[in-house]
Amino acid sequence: MRVLVTRPRLAAERTAARLSAMGHEAVILPLMQAQHLAGSAEAALREPHQAIAVTSAEAVRVLGALGPALEPHLATPLFAVGEATARAAGDLGFSDIRTGPGTGEGLAETVAAHPPGGTLVYFAGLPRTDGFERALHQRRIEHRTAECYRMAPVHYPAETLPALLRAGPFDAVMLYSRESARRLDAALRESGLEPADLASRFLCLSWAIREVLPDGLACAVAAVPDEENLLRLL
């Protein structure tokens, strides 16, 4: 299958390698790029806290950029939204990791099951959904949010998508975030294309992503919001 991968470049390259190993042809078109706010992360770590929470591997990458400033915090309990984020935190050196089921609401339940006994610092990005923070409020879990990265759209010339389609429509497009889905819709309109011109199927990491896509598309949603389940949709 010919598959369009729309996640940020570093992650997209890893996904493309997996797709190639599965026998698919992968084309990378990053639609968003991360702008790290390392100063915000470092300032948050200097404030008193008893636990850390991350809902994306991008936040872990920001922490990794802190170098020696992170070392005193590697034994702090860390709550990771899912397996992939937990692995990234483990690779960074965190030793006390509690893993959620893949959603913000589920991670809040994991935090409630293992109360941090003080302030939880949540390293978050912009823009983001508020499910994790809202669920923490509902459970009266003391927390502080540190916005440590910003996802910015990647803009391409209007001829970019038509050029990719010279070899024919894609068999599938992989979508990992609501913002990427919105950016793809904008890029299609800028190119004078309809979504159906681009691909026969749109594979969404979550239902929240499916909700921003036009009605009438052939869409599938991962059973669990992680890449393993997204790849199974192929």
Q: Which fold has domain 34-151?
A: Rossmann fold (3.40.50)
Please give the average per-residue pLDDT across 35-62, as a whole number: 96
Residue 216 has pLDDT above 90, yes or no: no
Residue 127 has phi, psi (to 5 degrees) of: -75, 170
Kind of pairing, strands 2-5 and 202-204? unpaired
Q: Residue 69: which residues within 8 A CB-CB, separation 6 or more?
A: 42, 45
Please give the average per-residue pLDDT across 146-155, as a whole number: 95
Separation in Å, CA 157 to CA 152, 162, 164, 195: 16, 10, 12, 17
Q: For residue 142, count other CB atoms closer than 10 A to its CB.
A: 14
Q: For residue 202, count other CB atoms closer than 10 A to its CB.
A: 27
Helix pair 38-46, 57-64: axis angle to 10 deg: 80
Q: Does 34-151 match 2-31+154-232 at the fold level?
A: yes
- Note the pTM of the prediction, 2 decimals: 0.84
* pLDDT of res. 225: 85
* pLDDT of res. 232: 95
Please state which CATH number belongs to domain 2-31+154-232: 3.40.50.10090
In the chain, domain spans? 2-31+154-232, 34-151
* pLDDT of res. 147: 97
pLDDT digits (tens, 9 = 90+) for 73-130: 999 999 999 998 999 999 999 999 999 998 999 999 999 999 999 999 999 999 988 8
Residue 224 has pLDDT above 90, yes or no: no
* pLDDT of res. 222: 94
Q: What is the 3-state secondary structure (H, E, C) of the chain?
A: CEEEECCCHHHHHHHHHHHHHCCCEEEECCCEEEEECHHHHHHHHHCCCCEEEECCHHHHHHHHCCHHHHHHHCCCCEEECCHHHHHHHHHHCCCCEEECCCCHHHHHHHHHHCCCCCCEEEEEEECCCCHHHHHHHHCCCCEEEEEEEEEEECCCCCCHHHHHHHHCCECEEEECCHHHHHHHHHHHHHHCCCHHHHECCEEECCHHHHCCCCCCCCEEECCCCCHHHHHHCC
Residue 40 has pLDDT above 90, yes or no: yes
